[in-house]
Amino acid sequence: MLSDDWFEDWFGEEYLALYTHRDELEAERVARLIESRVHLARDSRALDLACGAGRHQRELSDHWWTVGLDLSPSLLRAARTADRSAPLVRADMRTLPFRDSAFDLVVNLFTSFGYFSDDRAHKRVIEEVARVTCPGGWFVLDYLNAENVRRTLIPTDVRKVGQHTIEQERSISDDGRFVRKTITIGEYGRTFVERVRLFEPDELTAMVSSSGYAVLEVLGEYSGATLAADSSRTIVIARRQATATS
């Protein structure tokens, strides 16, 4: 049975080996999209929540002072290697180590959400994001598009990443609420399992709205295109209300 804390073991050296193809150009596109929507001053304070190896944090830092937060020591070490001066914090996203209204912008990018089996934990994350976002501040949640995932799911594939042979098996849970990926990395001789909640766009916007944000847009691509059934992403752009109850 998959542990509720599967993410504590997976996002390590093996994860970095598997996802070396994630490039800076894509991160630059995301940063440009965010800048075009939020219109924040250069001295604004931003948080990259679940920053991983820091590719988005570094791009966002070209626009605003940006803290990166992640739970994985391995990914944070990679982020530190890439930028020795980056402000990086290790913490669990369910309990953020920041004061109320600390940030003008919080971003959660590339489906770094939906890891928990209980939706109360997901709601807790959004409530914590709202707590650390100042009134009038922004939240950008970049998530998968559940409809597109179900329609385009590839059950099995094998590929080479550098010297590594990667076998991946994917399935949708019987209740349709989760996508599960089993990853075997031959050279490491280890198998890992990812499980991500298939939130529908209206579920995401309802969770964000109920935590004190006004949802302004839901996009479907990093180009800024509006969400459609075949979109690759679900990108929620929301603004913290001046007076809100969580």
Q: Which domains does the chain have, with CATH numbers?
A: 7-145+200-240 (3.40.50.150), 149-194 (no CATH)
Q: How confident is the model at residue 160 (pLDDT cuts 50, 70, 90)?
A: confident
> Can you give the pLDDT at residue 245?
46
Residue 72 has pLDDT above 70, yes or no: yes
> What mean pLDDT do residues 224-236 have?
97
> Can you give the pLDDT at residue 6?
43
Exposure class string for 206-242: b at 16+ Cβ within 10 A, else e:
ebbbebbbebeebbbbbeeeebeeebebbbbbbbbee
| CA 17 and chain centroid, separation | 19
CA nearest neighbour of 205 among 227, 178, 221: 227
Residue 142's identity, in one-letter code, is: D
Residue 119 has pLDDT above 90, yes or no: yes
